Chains A and B, each alone.
Chain A
Amino acid sequence: MFSNQKHVFWQALILTIFIFSVGVAIGFLIENSRLGKINELYVNSEVELLDVRIQSEMLNANLINCDLAIEKNIKFADKVYDEAKLLGRYEDAQRFSEALVLQHKKYDLLRTMVWVNSIKLKEKCSPNYHNIIYIYQYTDPSIKKIAEQETFSKFLEELKIKEQDRILLLPIAGDIGGISIEALKEQFNITVLPTVIIDEKTKITDFAGLKQIENLLK
């Protein structure tokens, strides 16, 4: 009787491998569906960025006015900011695939382009809003750094809710690679993360500075 029973050892193993593989495959599917959603949002944002940049060109050609270009730029930045939060949530829930890291990098480059576009706009128009660029550590932050960055994020989000269209808020990972981001870091001499850059003039790297931010915006 026992010789018949002992087959359960390998039968259970085969069944486990099968069901486990199905579970892992479903896991990949779920993560891929999230990646697909982010991809779709990114493509839409890429098209919108193109639109925003064309508007800037039109502004240069005096075909549209500053107010319209600024409004569109800020609205677009807000949309990309919301997408960044969604991407962040998906990344936190990511377990199998690393594909979202690449997506994050693409979004960072896109946000950098929005920033550059905003700088150009401010040169052309008399600005009635402030660029607030939040450059943070993405790769292997310590617990202390995560807590610090979370507090920075919460503070800036509160500020954005309060100031609405008076600020253009863009979070950008400072250590994810990319020549343009590295160049900007060098340009602004950013050696510490997180750093908040206000209107390409003021750098804030600590909480004391963060508390003074509202004075700087007046």
Chain B
Amino acid sequence: MYWLSIVILIYIFIALYFFFFFILIYLKNRESMYTCPKLTRNYKVSVVIPCYNEEDCICGTINAVLSSTYPIEKVFVVNDGSTDRTAEIVEKLARKNKKIILLNKKNGGKADSLNYALKFVKTELVAIVDSDSYPDKDALEKTIGFFDNPRVGVATCAVLARNKSKFMEKLQAVEYTVIAWTRKLLGYLNAIYVTPGPLAIYRTNVIKKLGFDTKNMTEDIEATWHLTSEGWRREMCLAARVTTITPSTFKGWYNQRVRWNMGGIQTINKYKHLFLKGGMLGCFILPYFVLSLIMGLVGLSIFFYLFFRRVIFSYISTKLSLGIGVPVITVDQLYMTPNVLNFLGLAMLILGTFFTILGLSVMEERELRNRNIFNLAFYLLIYLTIYPFIMPVAIYRLVKKDLRW
């Protein structure tokens, strides 16, 4: 059998495995997807909002946080050396509301800002909120109950896209929704691998002890893995939501994804010593990340191999055909005989579509109705296919030690 057929069959097998894996978790837990733990006691909560040049959205974020139905002790806004009007806006708000505390510091990155703010936090729990994110009023109230379990170190909620008007934003809205659903599913296995920046509530003493890794490009992934390696559970409440501003241009999206990939690789590298060693991190999360990385790179290599092979072939063939005066393309060449792998690939596409539509339906049926078929088709056929192309760029930048955001 041609080696490429074997590789494609392996890909299909792995994709099929994860399809059934997620579907089975969903079927076992579909009744409890939106269940929130009841609050049995009151936890004192502070909120930390790190920001850098966020004059456009910081006011909205602070207001969203302050409108929480769960009482908040303090809101620490860390101005990470902004050069715009961020500090001025926050100062103005702080004058009106004594809960808001502005912490100014030299620019040192998000993780550095978080570590700095943690020094001021005195409450039992601390919620980290990205400066471009807007937690729903009841997001904290619905999520905090998880901390009744003393093994829970961090809890998060469904992160959804806030802006959905431009094409890139619509695609990301689909993506964020499906990711939120799958993250909840992984939560049933204690396999949540990231408690994302838009809203993550930590047990203060735990995160103070572990801290955020200032060298990592995705401090949220690293922190989650760190907690996991220390045996802390991560939980997620699907009923609680936070919306975040997603990049509206391809360039913005691309830069963000390169950073995410770089952070992911940095985190894999940091925790590689735990590979296949006991616990969910070593036995599932880490292999899952490594497998995704390998599959992405191998898939990309195969794509380039086939693409350049086709280009070289077309070039030679066209040159020869023109040279001898025969048609470059004949009707016979247009006649395609589908092979078995084409059928299996089509079957996988159908399953992928089903999975995405199911995820969207579980999350919000009204939204699904609003998203047209073209967006969904583009998301499945193009958007997801672009992903592996980002990986080599991320690796290249890491090798070059180019750690710009």
A interface, CB within 8 angstroms of B? 1-2, 4-6, 8-9, 11-13, 15-16, 19-20, 23-24, 26-27, 30-31, 85, 89-90, 92-96, 143-144, 146-148, 150-151, 154-155, 157-158, 207, 210-211
Contacts and interface: CB of A to CB of B under 8 A. Distances in A.
Interface residues of B, number: 41
B339 A94 contact: yes
A95 B6 CA distance: 9
A177 to B, nearest CB: 20
Given A147-B313, A207-B323, 5 more contacts: A4-B28, A24-B9, A144-B316, A154-B326, A157-B332
A151 B320 contact: yes
Given A5-B28, A12-B17, A95-B340, A148 B330 contact: no
The listed residue with most B CB atoms (<10 A of its CB), out of A5, A8, A23, is A8
Contacts of B321: 151, 154
A5 B190 CA distance: 10
A89 B337 contact: yes
Interface string B326-345: 11001010010111110110
Interface stretch (B19-27, B88-96, B124-132, B134-142): B19-27
Contact of B317 (A2, A5, A150): A150
B382 interface: no
A93 B312 CA distance: 21
A56 to B, nearest CB: 31
B188 interface: yes
B309 interface: yes
Interface of B: 1-2, 5, 9, 12-13, 16-18, 20-21, 24-25, 28-29, 188-190, 309, 312-313, 316-317, 320-321, 323-327, 330, 332, 335, 337-341, 343-344, 347
A157 B188 CA distance: 63
Given A6-B189, A96-B340, A154 B24 contact: no
Q: Is the interface of B mostly helix, strand, loop or mixed?
A: helix
Contacts of B340: 26-27, 30-31, 93, 95-96
B16 A16 contact: yes
B210 to A, nearest CB: 23
A169 to B, nearest CB: 14
A20 B189 contact: no
Given A92-B337, A147-B313, A211 B20 contact: no
19 contacts: A2-B188, A5-B28, A6-B189, A16-B16, A20-B16, A24-B9, A26-B340, A26-B343, A27-B340, A85-B332, A92-B337, A92-B339, A93-B339, A95-B5, A147-B316, A150-B317, A151-B321, A151-B326, A154-B321
Nearest to A207: B324
A89 B335 contact: yes
B24 A11 contact: yes
Contact of A16 (B1, B13, B189, B327): B13
Given A12-B17, A89-B335, A155-B326, A30 B343 contact: yes
Q: Which of B2, B330, B337 has the most CB of A within 10 A?
A: B337
A90 B23 CA distance: 36
A157 B330 contact: yes
